[in-house]
Amino acid sequence: MLVQSLNTEQLIIESARKHFAARGFSGVSLQDIAADAGTTKSMVNYYFRSKEKLFSVIFLREFQLLFSSIASFLLEDLPLKEKITNIVSLDVDRLLKMPELPVFIMSEMHRNPEIVLKHLEHIPIDQLLLQLDKQIRRETKQGIIRYIPPRELMINIQSLTIFPFLSKPMMTGRLGYTEKTFTALMMKRKKDIVDTIWKSIAV
Amino acid sequence: MLVQSLNTEQLIIESARKHFAARGFSGVSLQDIAADAGTTKSMVNYYFRSKEKLFSVIFLREFQLLFSSIASFLLEDLPLKEKITNIVSLDVDRLLKMPELPVFIMSEMHRNPEIVLKHLEHIPIDQLLLQLDKQIRRETKQGIIRYIPPRELMINIQSLTIFPFLSKPMMTGRLGYTEKTFTALMMKRKKDIVDTIWKSIAV
DNA sequence: GTCTATATTTCGATAGAC
DNA sequence: GTCTATCGAAATATAGAC
């Protein structure tokens, strides 16, 4: 395999992604991004016109990453419990690879809600929730679970999955976790989350 | 009741709290803070010497607010289920009053972990967890619950309680919630959270 | 496409009058 | 205690040579 060196635009994107995720929009200067990409601020403006536009590009990519595959998992033809298992497993794996993603999304979403809403418009949330609602009602009728509003089910799943990554600095800093034990906890936690969710709705 | 006008220092603190919480340390200028407090940047430096010192004052106040009373609830002599009920209820009430608090703590914790760790040193976390561990083992022996490591129990409680506030912009923006229905959801959710937690550990 | 140089603004902080 | 004025540094963005 060739060691393909990236072009300047790609280097800038990768550097910007890293810096924005670590310190947010206003915590990063074009100088930081350019230096880390081995080029100058002028090149950043040349490719992306402005800091805002560069940020928008980065944010969109990360945002889609976080929400894309959940949708396809929800639409699969599987029992609810298996869907939940798949979503949790996928999310934990992905978050372990990019643990700074949630706090990036969260803080920028509060700083600038409009940018999120604009991107969310392209995701058929209502349809996904309706679909999920049908399945919940079906399995309720079959006596498998008790009814739970689909939005609340999703909030519970996301809460138990994402929150530990948001409080990771506290866990590794003072609660006695290291990088290794944190990863181990999260791998074990996949099963715990599904168990907790399922016990809360199982008949 | 007299309409007591606050002095300049208090006005600056209140303005700084609001702005820092909304946009973080580097997203706010002393100019913003001063203008909103009806004074000038000079006065901010006069009272607090530097932006860093001002921020530290604000952060410490908010941080203690978030963690103070959990400790006392944990130390009370009550059955575990009642402790959980009390903690969840208190947290939800407080977060409804200051919904921007979690994202403020979370993002600044990631941008500057040291400041958090310094404040955490004064809280006897190990002792609290040991105390909780004893109670869990006791109620396990009594056949009330199955054993769960105290840190994981606390993570689950905090996850289900705090996460909805972190994703509030998404819920009110696109998931069909308004301020009123969000508040209603969270009030109802108090009971749901305790139920979910309890079912996950009950025998 | 890439760089240097620079224009322009804004920021944090200080000096000094009152 | 409070303000105006200002300094020096750093930021975004642009102009222009190559």
One domain for residues A69 and A38: no
One domain for residues B42 and B69: no
**Proximity of residue B31 CB to strand C below 7 A:** yes
Phi/psi of residue A145, nearest 5 degrees:
-135, 170
Asked if A105 contacts A120 with a C-beta cutoff of 8 angstroms, the reply is: no
- CATH, residue A159: 1.10.357.10
pLDDT tens by residue, B176-189? 899 999 999 999 99
One domain for residues A31 and A118: no
Handedness of CA B55, B57, B62, B64 (dihedral sign): positive
DSSP letters spanning B161-185: HHHHHHTHHHHHHTSS--HHHHHHH
One domain for residues B109 and B176: yes
How many residues make up chain B in this entry? 203
DSSP-assigned letter for residue A25: G
B1 pLDDT exceeds 60? no
Least confident among A81-85, B29-33, B98-102: B98-102
Q: Identify the bridge partners of residue A145 per DSSP, sorted by sequence position.
A: A202
One domain for residues A67 and A157: yes
One domain for residues B76 and B129: yes
One domain for residues A132 and A171: yes
One domain for residues A86 and A2: no
Of B9, B26, B49, which marks where a domain is finished? B49
Does the beta-carbon distance from A23 to B111 stay under 8 Å?
A: yes
The model's confidence at residue A173, banded by pLDDT at 50, 70 and 90, is confident
In a domain, A54, yes or no: no
pLDDT at A117: 81
Quick one: which of A96, A122, A109 has its CA closest to A55?
A109
Q: How far apart are CA A191 and CA B33, in angstroms?
A: 47
Asked if B47 contacts B8 with a C-beta cutoff of 8 angstroms, the reply is: yes
The tokens of B92 are what? 């939800």
pLDDT at A3: 46
Asked if A74 contacts A157 with a C-beta cutoff of 8 angstroms, the reply is: no
Q: How far apart are CA A62 and CA B153, in angstroms?
A: 30
One domain for residues B105 and B186: yes
One domain for residues B19 and B38: yes
Q: How far is CA A91 from the centre of its chain?
A: 7
In a domain, B87, yes or no: yes
In a domain, B41, yes or no: yes
Give the residue numbers spanning the domain of B174.
59-201
Q: Tell me if chain B has a CB within 8 Å of the CB of A118.
A: no
Residue among A116, A169, A192 whose CB faces B116 most closely: A169
pLDDT tens by residue, A109-118? 998 888 778 8
The model's confidence at residue B5, banded by pLDDT at 50, 70 and 90, is low
Give contacts of A116 with chain B, Cβ < 8 Å.
Answer: 169-170, 173
In a domain, B54, yes or no: no
In a domain, B90, yes or no: yes
B88 pLDDT exceeds 90? yes
Residue B123: closest C-alpha in chain A: A174
One domain for residues B9 and B68: no
The model's confidence at residue B69, banded by pLDDT at 50, 70 and 90, is confident
In a domain, A137, yes or no: yes
pLDDT at A174: 81
In a domain, A179, yes or no: yes
Measured in Å, how far apart are chain B's first and last C-alpha atoms?
54
Helix (H, G, I), strand (E, B) or coil at B103: helix
In a domain, B19, yes or no: yes
User: What mean pLDDT comes out for the span A145-169?
Assistant: 97
Q: What is the pTM of this model?
A: 0.94
A2 pLDDT exceeds 80? no
Q: To the nearest whole angstrom, how far is the Cα of A8 from the nearest Cα of chain B?
A: 27
Measured in Å, how far apart are chain A's first and last C-alpha atoms?
54
Does the beta-carbon distance from A167 to B155 stay under 8 Å?
A: yes
Of A49, A70, A88, which marks where a domain is finished? A49
One domain for residues A191 and A125: yes
B4 pLDDT exceeds 60? no
Asked if A59 contacts A18 with a C-beta cutoff of 8 angstroms, the reply is: no
Helix (H, G, I), strand (E, B) or coil at A49: coil
- Residue B61 (CA) to nucleotide D1 (C1'), in angstroms, measures 25
- CATH, residue B5: 1.10.10.60
Q: Which of chain C's bases lie under 7 Å from a protein CB?
A: 1-5, 10-16
pLDDT tens by residue, A34-57? 999 999 999 999 999 999 999 999
Please tell me the total count of domains within chain A: 2
Rounded (to 5) percent helix, strand, coil in chain B? 75, 0, 20
pLDDT at B122: 81
